[in-house]
Structures are given as C-alpha cells and as structure tokens.
C-alpha cells in the first residue's frame, strides 16, 4: 500500500481465490503526505491503513449491477446502496440464476422466495425448484433458517407485546403487501443485514441480522460499520510510545527477571508460549492500580473457553493472546479475538427506552467468546467535550485511551446494561506478530450460558456507583434497586 495514494480508510474485501485479509487497524492522520516521514516502516505495513477519514463504502462486488438502476430508495445510510433495479429491468439484465441472492423467505404456502443484490422488492422471486435452489444457496438458506428459529423463540418472549408477536409474521412469511411497498423500512433492515454481514464475511466473521418487531417499524440505527479499530493519530502516538507495545525480547532485556508464576497453559506450544510471562512483565507488577482496583488475568482452556469460576465483575481484566513469539498456529485456543466472532448475533429493537439491543441467534456457552467491541481509539482531551455514552475505557493496556463507537463501530455497541450481566468486556493484549503495533482491543465473553433470543448485556457501571440512590432508576429487571449515574 502506498500511503500517499490512500485517500480514505475502507473495509477489507475478500477477493475470489485469495485468503482472508484482516486489517490490524486504520489510522486517521491529518496530513497523509507526512505518513512515511512520521511512521517510517509502519507506513507501508500491508495490514495498516492510513488516511484522513474512514469511509463506509458499499462492499466491493455488492450491488454493482444495480447502482445505476432507476429506483432510488428514500433512505441514506453509510455503505448501503440507494439506487437499485426494478422488475421491469429484468429483460435488460438477464435471468435470475446469474444474480446474487440477498435473502431467502417463505411464502404463506411454504414456498421459497428470495431477494437479489442490487434489485428492489419488486424483483423478489418465488423459486420453483426449491431443493436445488436451497442446495445452490446453502449459506443464505442457513441464515434464513437461523433467522426463523430466532423469531419463533422470540414469539414466546414474555417481554413481547401482542403487537410485536404478531409482527414476527412479517419476517417469517413474505406477504404480497410488503412486496408491493418498495419503500417499506423493512427493506432497509434487510439491506443493513446483508451489507454489514458482507463486511463480516469478508473479514472472516459470522453474519449478523437487524430485526424490528413493531407494526410501524422504526428507522434502524445509522452509523459507520467497521470490523477493526480505527485509531486517531494522537492515540496511535500514545500506543507506539507505550510499554505494552514493546516486543517480548525488549521487555525481557530491560526489566528485572523474576521466576514466572506457574499456571496451566492451553497454548498449542506451552513450552515456548510467552503469554504468561508477558502478563508478569507488563501487568502483574502491581495487582492493584492507583484507585485500589484489582487486576485479574484470565486465560482460556484448550477449547478457548474462559474459566469464570473465580471471576470478579469489579476487577479490571486482561487476556493475553499468542503472537509469533509463542510458536503456535492461528488455530491456537489462545487466539480467540484474532480468530474472530463465530456466533450469529441480532441487532434487535427492544423498546422506546432502550431502542436497539443485541441478542443471541445461537446458544453461547459460559466463558465463550462472543464478539469484539470495535470503534475509534481516542486519546481524550480534558478541555474538549465529546459524547462519552459509547466509550469503552482502556484501563490496563494504555490507561489514557478509550474506544468510542458512537459514530463508527460494530454490533457490540448495542449491548444493553444489566446490573446482573451475562457478558463482560475484557481488555485483550493481542497481535499476530511482535512487529505489529499493539492496538488496544476489547473482547466480549459470556459470563453465563446465553440462550437463543436472550439479550447480551454487560454492566455499564461499577456496583458502588449504582448504589448511591442518586441518578436514573434502573429498569434492567423488575424491581431493580439500583440507580444509574447521570454524570
């Protein structure tokens, strides 16, 4: 990559016949022409993008046929095409077996119907050879079956109103009135599902879904979607100067050597793994920080599952993932964030108060990796006011940084609050190569078994901050005694 030619940071694209390419991060720089002078060899790193902004483009190879179509959708969302083709354009653009399937539905008669990428609702077709169609479009069929299973579970959710239960039919059975309403916001939800899933798939992650079970559907959330962190220039400077960014050999050579604490190690090559030693060198010298809050080192078993038996929600937590210094492969159980999200999740409209939340479309085991929290890595300035409601604070890897997903982020930004959470954020020291910069990452792991349809909820605040009796009365569960801080 030539940084001088890089105009914007964009999402990774998987090219046919090529392995998945995963960017480490994108770095927002004020003066792209000075990148080489400032960052040296890092400026040509093949997995780091430099640019003046992040651009949420329509994923390459998606909807290209329809972008000059006559139909113009009324909504404008980052990375979602507005122009599409309509039914009357079929004769010009060929038969449906040459088109890319976007989503699959069932009619009231149980027949399969599908929408196509780059075409609007008028071109949804019923399939007359459903077995062959399902076989030829297995991934889209699996996603449809997962969506339908999720909706059937949601119909039994005690929080659902009768109106919302009835609205599940809009998603379970495709109706003619919806096909005739080309501007129905339902189709925008379906576009978000497809194009954000395309970003996930190109990055090697499980797809996601957007669902709203209201008769009058609300507009879906508007933000820029990223599978990897975007880093502001001042934050990148702080990262490169930080001690956690040092390579393992440098840490060993410049710090007093002590006998490592014996621990079970699930690495493929425990004899050469340096993860435990990294914790001792970087994070264990003081088991409490200046506020007196304890630090907890959490490690996975040979399946990548964390042991939550001694987990304390009040502690600061850190996971160390393997790098090339450990000598293991990319399949090592100590590389879960590197391997990425494997569970299907749903961005789901909850109610007028919470707005959108995150729910599980598959069972998630206690201690299992759920997803990563992505956004913009920021070095906040004390004299600059900013929206902090989507901030995830970095306490161990670099105390001065936060990950802000208010404008740019991923599905993890929708996790709701619960005073008795079933998931937790854990700072993750993770890089594939020791020569890579250590970009702060936050992994989300399950604190409890999470069932299909269940909310994925974390605690936004420390317990003592919610027990003052001052603030907004918490409604995370019936009769919750806590109050949420307002400042």
Q: What pLDDT, on a 0 to 100 scale, did the predictor assign at position 287?
A: 55
List, for the chain, all residue ranges whose pLDDT scores fall below the cut of 70. 1-6, 60-68, 94-97, 256-260, 285-292, 487
Q: How far apart are CA 227 and CA 251, in angstroms?
A: 30
Q: In degrees to the nearest 10, what's the CA dihedral of 276, 404, 357, 372? A: -30
Report DSSP state, residue 200: H
Q: Which residues are CB-contacts of 376 (< 8 A; sequence separation ≥ 6)?
A: 28, 54, 229, 230, 231, 232, 403, 404, 405, 407, 408, 409
CA distances (Å), origin 353, targets 155, 349, 387, 485: 21, 10, 19, 16
**Which pLDDT score is estimated for 231?**
98
Reference 345, options 219, 444, 477; nearest CA is 444
Tally of CB atoms within 10 A around 172: 15
pLDDT at residue 5, rounded to an integer: 46
pLDDT in the model for residue 31: 83
Q: Tell me how far apart the alpha carbons of residues 197 and 209 are, in angstroms, rounded to a whole number.
A: 8
Domains and CATH numbers, the chain: 61-213 (no CATH), 230-484 (2.170.270.10)
pLDDT score for 470: 74
How many angstroms from the chain centroid is the CA of residue 315? 24
pLDDT score recorded for residue 151: 96
Residue 102: predicted pLDDT: 95
Nearest Cα residue to 231 out of 415, 29, 460 = 29
């Amino acid at each position: 990559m030539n940084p001088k030619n890089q105009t914007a940071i964009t999402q990774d694209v998987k090219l046919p016949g090529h392995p998945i390419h995963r960017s480490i991060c994108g770095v927002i720089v004020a003066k792209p022409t000075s990148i080489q002078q400032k960052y040296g060899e890092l400026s040509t790193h093949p997995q780091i993008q430099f640019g003046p902004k992040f651009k949420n483009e329509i994923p390459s190879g998606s909807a290209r046929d329809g972008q000059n179509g006559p139909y113009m959708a009324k909504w404008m969302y980052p990375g979602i095409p507005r122009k599409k083709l309509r039914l009357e354009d079929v004769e010009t653009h060929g038969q449906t077996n040459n088109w890319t399937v976007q989503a699959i539905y069932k009619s009231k008669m149980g027949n399969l119907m599908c929408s196509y990428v780059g075409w609007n609702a008028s071109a949804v077709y019923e399939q007359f050879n459903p077995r062959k169609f399902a076989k030829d479009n297995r991934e889209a069929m699996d996603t449809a079956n997962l969506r339908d299973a999720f909706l059937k579970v949601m119909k039994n959710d005690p929080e659902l109103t009768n109106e919302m239960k009835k609205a599940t039919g809009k998603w379970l059975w495709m109706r003619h009135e919806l096909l005739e309403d080309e501007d129905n916001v339902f189709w925008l939800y379906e576009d978000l599902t497809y194009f954000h899933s395309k970003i996930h798939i190109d990055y090697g992650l499980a797809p996601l879904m957007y669902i709203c079970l209201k008769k009058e559907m609300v507009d879906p959330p508007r933000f820029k979607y990223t599978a990897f962190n975007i880093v502001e220039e001042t934050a990148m400077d702080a990262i490169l100067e930080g001690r956690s960014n040092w390579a393992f050999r440098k840490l060993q050579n410049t710090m007093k050597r002590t006998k490592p604490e014996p621990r079970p190690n699930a690495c493929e090559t425990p004899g050469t793994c340096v993860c435990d030693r990294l914790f001792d060198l970087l994070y264990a010298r003081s088991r409490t920080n200046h506020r007196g809050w304890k630090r907890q080192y959490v490690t996975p078993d040979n399946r990548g599952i964390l042991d939550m038996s001694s987990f304390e929600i009040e502690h600061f937590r850190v996971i160390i993932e393997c790098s090339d210094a450990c000598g293991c492969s990319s399949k090592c159980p100590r590389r879960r964030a590197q391997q990425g999200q494997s569970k299907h999740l749903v961005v789901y409209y909850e109610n007028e108060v919470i707005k959108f939340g995150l729910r599980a479309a598959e069972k998630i085991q206690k201690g299992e990796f759920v997803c990563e929290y992505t956004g913009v890595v920021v070095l906040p300035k004390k004299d600059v006011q900013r929206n902090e409601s989507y901030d995830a604070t970095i306490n161990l890897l670099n105390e001065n940084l936060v990950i802000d997903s208010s404008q740019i982020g991923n599905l993890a930004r929708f996790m709701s609050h619960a005073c008795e959470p079933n998931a937790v954020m854990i700072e993750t020291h993770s890089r594939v190569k020791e020569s890579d910069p250590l970009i702060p990452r936050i992994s989300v792991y399950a604190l409890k078994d999470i069932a299909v349809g269940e909310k994925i909820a974390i605690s936004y605040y420390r317990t003592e901050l919610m027990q003052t009796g001052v603030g907004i009365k918490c409604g995370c569960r019936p009769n919750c005694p806590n109050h949420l801080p307002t400042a």
